[in-house]
Structure 1
């Protein structure tokens, strides 16, 4: 082995000696954090963070955000999240995007929000779903909006249930049904992407990061209903919490009036025929009951039977028992004339 080869091997050995203490230092900090010794943890992470270790940078960001071991310092936390994200730390990128959004820097935040949503983050799916619904920072796409909000709701984000309830009032039944298929496609793709990204991150980041106490999307600070604004969907203003939204007042065009009475539809065998009218599809089951309670007394549905049919993550509401397609079609036309969306189907 020549001198040149010896020098190369010596360089490799030196780099390994440097890498091992660095990783150990980050891990020592995690152990200290787990014991509740936050000051010791921060001390362990300072050096590696300065040298560009993304785990140490992320953990320091958490410490500064939570005020553990150091005074709360959101500016410092933001900078550490940004540095860790630039070094490929996925959770840091997610938190950085959330902080930017909460601080009102929404355009800067959206690339991070979209990337997090693509990996199945329910907070990001909630924000991106609202963006598509409002045509604000994203193209108007009510099918994708409902799909993203459905996934966020399924993941347990409380705000998503409220958003779905309001979306149910404006998104047509057909689009909500399309959203269920799209939600399944998005989930499959996001699961695959998240697995690939986290596997890659595990290879690059051997140290276990500190607990993921990530910022939560604040609860809605207003209970005003969503109201479509012209043709582009509802509009929102960021609330003081940043990631929250306050609905703008409903326009006069959104005011709903009671439908005028219409003649009952004759049925040869009320409640027993094979045809049905689909009245809605809801991500929140309680809304299905509300719709049936609202419409069951209508003369067009006299003698019809209530049918609730599960379809993926939604409950489909049907009025069944029409003896012919024409009878169901006539009833549906009268419902549409009074403002109630519907479609004829064979049960």
Structure 2
């Protein structure tokens, strides 16, 4: 994004919760064609933050930014096609968008491309290539990527790898990863049963406001 004092101020006001003075400016820049702002505005419409929630409008903005090769928007649009959010579900289109996002530097796009290849969603299944791509995502420093990858391994029953990746995300402060890792220490999934470690991670997740962690911690403490 080109440094622009007015735009920087708008983002600062948004971070402070001043929607009245920030959102109109952000919409103006999006309409003028700034792909990063277009992608950001898309996330606002997707979440309903500062604007009325509208998934179709979110995808319009993601599409506008994606047409300029903005990786995060390509990922977001791909995710919505994969899940059928505001658009008709289309896994092939989703995979194409994830691949483009990966090419344009989106770590989350690269992860979803890898998961698609590993599972054969939207593309031909190729376990070897999928493993290679998943291994690359394991090296990511992006907490959201590590958390999602850890969950993917967990849901696939690959608990040892799940524990390793979730630990990376948990160490970086991700509450969901802390919660899931804590339960793994209780259930002896991919790690040795260790109530002390379970309390440690569940405690962190509970403090971060994860209700399931509060419940699990209560059960563990009897």
2:171 is matched with none
How far is the alpha carbon of 1:113 from its aligned partner? 0.7
User: Given the superposition, is the C-alpha separation of residues 79 and 107 from structure 1 closer, same or farther in structure 2, using an over 3 Å criterion?
Assistant: same
1:14-53 equivalences in 2 (<5 Å) = 23-53=4-34
1:132 match: 117
- 1:161-204 superposed Cα distances (whole Å, 9 cap, x missing partner): 22564599xxxxxxxxxxxxxxxxxxxxxxxxxxxxxxxxxxxx
Partner SS state of residue 88, structure 1: coil
Query: Could you tell me how far apart the structure 1 residues matched to 2:36 and 2:117 are?
Result: 33
> Could you list the per-position Cα deviations for residues 37-76 of structure 1 after superposition, in whole angstroms to 9, with x for gaps in the alignment?
1232111122222222223322221221222221111111
Structure 1, unaligned runs of 5 or more: 1-19, 169-284, 290-347
Partner of 2:151: 159
TM-score by length of 2: 0.56
The aligned counterpart of 1:116 is 101
Deviation at 1:94, TM superposition (A): 1.9
Q: How does 1:1-347 map to 2 (within 5 A)?
A: 23-103=4-84, 104-118=89-103, 121=106, 123-155=108-140, 156=146, 157=148, 158-162=150-154, 165-166=157-158, 286=190
Answer 1 or 2: which has greater strand percent. 1
Per-residue CA deviation, residues 257-304 of structure 1 (Å, 9 max, x unaligned), is xxxxxxxxxxxxxxxxxxxxxxxxxxxx938x9xxxxxxxxxxxxxxx
Whole-Å Cα distance in 2 between the matches of residues 154 and 80 of structure 1? 30
- Tell me the distance in 2 between the aligned counterparts of 1:66 and 1:142: 34
User: Quick one: distance in 2 between partners of 1:121 and 1:53?
Assistant: 18
Which consecutive segments of 4 or more residues in structure 1 shift more than 6 A? none
- Preserved contact between residue 153 and residue 161 of structure 1 (Cα < 8 Å): no
Which runs of 5 or more structure 2 residues have no equivalent in the other structure?
A: 141-145, 161-188, 193-222
How many residue pairs end up in the alignment? Answer: 152
Instruction: State how far apart, in whole Å, the 2-side matches of 1:69 and 1:40 are.
Output: 10
Q: Are the structure 2 counterparts of residues 121 and 167 from structure 1 closer, same or farther at C-alpha, using a change threshold of 3 Å?
A: farther
Larger radius of gyration: 1
Greater relative contact order structure (CA < 8 Å, 6+ sep) = 1
Q: Which has the higher helix share?
A: 2
What TM-score does the superposition give when structure 1 sets the normalisation length? 0.38
1:224-277 CA-partner distances (Å, limit 9, x unpaired): xxxxxxxxxxxxxxxxxxxxxxxxxxxxxxxxxxxxxxxxxxxxxxxxxxxxxx
Give the distance between the partners of 1:56 and 1:121, measured in 2 at CA: 16
Deviation, 1:78, is 1.0
Contact 1:93/1:112, CA 8 A, preserved across alignment: yes
Is the alpha carbon distance of 1:135 and 1:98 closer, same or farther for their aligned partners in structure 2, counting shifts above 3 Å? Answer: closer
